[in-house]
Structures are given as structure tokens and as C-alpha cells.
Amino acid sequence: MRNLINIMDLSAKEIDGLIETACDIMKFPEKYERACEHKILATLFYEPSTRTRLSFESAMLSLGGQVLGFSEANSSSAAKGESVSDTAAIVSGYCDIIAMRHPKEGAPLVAAQTASVPIINAGDGGHYHPTQTLTDLLTVKREKGTFDNLTIGVCGDLKFGRTVHSLIGAMSRYEGVRFVLISPEELKLPRFVKQQFIKDKGIPYEQSTQLEEVMDRLDVLYMTRVQRERFFNEEDYLRLRDSYILTPDKLKSAKEDMIIMHPLPRVNEISVEVDKDPRAAYFRQAHNGKYIRMALILKLLEEAKA
């Protein structure tokens, strides 16, 4: 059974194919409106979500399919102690494909061991978020026209920010990519990401604690929220949460064609005045999420049939 647990489960060629399908869906939505008739998507969300869950549901409905699921662990039998493996085995009998978000790293992989339908990781703890990365890649492709020769600045909570971990993995496969890692000391990129996707591949990178110092060389600035839900104590969160606040003033030295991305939700890290800047791509990015998830559902259901 083909699942999507880690973005590296997809080859670069497959990602190109998904992007092509997503762009075709955007242009000709009517071609796809019955593509998943009689198919059911289950969204099993043990953690809060707006974009991921609703864009998955909107994606399936726009493909002519149906959706069921839960949006918090407390409204499912997880509250009575049911395991992820049992839930996955049971829900497989009620649907054709499952998107799962869970606070524990590896939970969707555990679910995939007992599920008899494809499992999509919709975010597992501070680990990975592959469908956000597909959304991000579609955005980079649409905004910049290429993945090659880009200097990508990732800024904020690089330790717990699962979207950053998946994005760095995916971007590490393209020619001439460079990374600029901007974070406070306490929120640096974890070793499991840095070693595997940057150092072992010999990709040029630099680290900084100051966004303004590196702004002028970035082609993509990927801002992130400090992940309050992953902190062990509130004091550390309060000290670090406003480490970076992007304002129009700080963008003065940025390239004219740099794009500003953010997986959202934002808290304070991008001031609302930045929203008017044409380089602010984050709302367009969130919109792209629906179309790339439509393409992913189509691909996984097609492969499950084979």
C-alpha cells in the first residue's frame, strides 16, 4: 500500500507530476469533479488544524468524494484509550483513504502498519508535515518558476517546526540550492535534519540569529511560528515567541522578487502591514494547499487500485 509519511517517500519526478496535476485542476476543475465519486476520505485529527484538515476535506468534496472523521482526540475513542493502530484498522473499513494528524512523532507510520487503505501524514508532532511541503513546493514553483539555484531562508522555530524539516528535505534534492538557517540558539535545526539533508549532501548553508543580517541574499523567506504546544515550559515560550517579527521596515533590504512564505497560522511573526506587500505569498500558499492535496488523493487512490 502506498502511503505518504515522509516527503522523501515521493521522488522529485513524482512531485513534478503532482504539481502538474494540481495546476491542471486549477485550470480545468470541471474535469475532476467526479474523479472520486463513491470514494471516502477519513480525516483523523488528534491535534488542532484549520488549513490542513479543511483543505483535505474541500479537496475530496471537489473531487466528488465524501468525507468523515474527527477533529480532536477527545471526540474519538482515543479518549477511552484506543490505540492508533486499532483506530487505523477499524477506520480502514469505513473509507478509502486516511489523512492523520497526531501529536506523537511516528503515529501515522504506526497507523500504516494496520491500515488497509493509504495513510497520509498530515503532521506528526515536531517531526514532518509532507503535505504542507507539497503545498510549499507548488507555491515556490508558481511564484519563482523553478526550484534550482534558490537561496532559502528558514526563520523562527527550526527545532519544533515540522514544516521546515520536510521542506529542507524536499529542497535538498534540487540543483544549486543554499539554505540560511535563522533561529535563536535554543530553536536551532535538529541534527536529524541538518546532517541528513544538508551536511551529508554537501549543500552550502549558513546560520544566523539575525534576520536583518541575511535578508538581502534570500530568494525565499520562510517564516515560522514558535510552536508553543511543543514547549515543556511556558516561560521559555514567552521568552522566545517574539524572536522575529517581520515588518515592512525589515524588508527594505530584501530582493524585489523575494517571496515571503509561512505555513500559517501566524501569531506575531509577520506584521499585518506586510500582507499588502506583493512579495507576501502566504495566503496564496494556503490556497494552493487544496489543489496539491487533490492531486495527492488522486495519485494514492489510483495506486491503491493497481
264 binds ligand CP (CB under 6 A): yes
Examine the residue annotation and report whether 159 is marked as an active-site residue of this protein: no
Using rule CB under 6 A, residue 267 touches ligand CP: no
**Marked catalytic residue, from 52, 131, 133, 135:** 52
Q: Choose, from 127, 129, 159, 293, the residue flagged as catalytic.
A: 129
**Is residue 80 among the annotated active site residues?**
yes
Catalytic residue among 80, 191, 276, 305: 80
Grid cell for residue 288: 494552493
Q: Quick check: is 139 catalytic?
A: no
Provide, rounded to whole angstroms, the least separation between the CB of residue 49 and ligand CP. 3
263 is an interface residue for ligand CP by CB under 6 A: yes
Contacts to ligand CP from residues 205-244, by CB under 6 A? none
Build a one-symbol-per-residue string for 94-133: x at contacts with ligand CP by CB under 6 A, - elsewhere.
Answer: -----------------------------x--------x-
- With CB under 6 A, what is the number of residues at the site for ligand CP? 9
Using the rule CB under 6 A, is 248 a contact of ligand CP? no
Q: Is residue 50 involved in binding ligand CP (CB under 6 A)? A: yes
Q: What are the cell numbers at 43?
A: 480525516
Tell me whether residue 129 or residue 299 sits nearer to ligand CP (CB atom).
Answer: 129
Question: What is the amino acid identity at position 153?
Answer: G
Give how far Cα 154 sits from Cα of 159, 163, 263, Å: 11, 10, 11
Site string for ligand CP, 58-77 (x = CB under 6 A): --------------------
Closest contact distance (angstroms) between CB of 189 and ligand CP is 19
* Nearer to ligand CP (CB atom), residue 2 or residue 266: 266
> Interface residues with ligand CP (CB under 6 A)?
49-52, 123, 132, 263-265
Active site residues: 51-52, 80, 101, 129
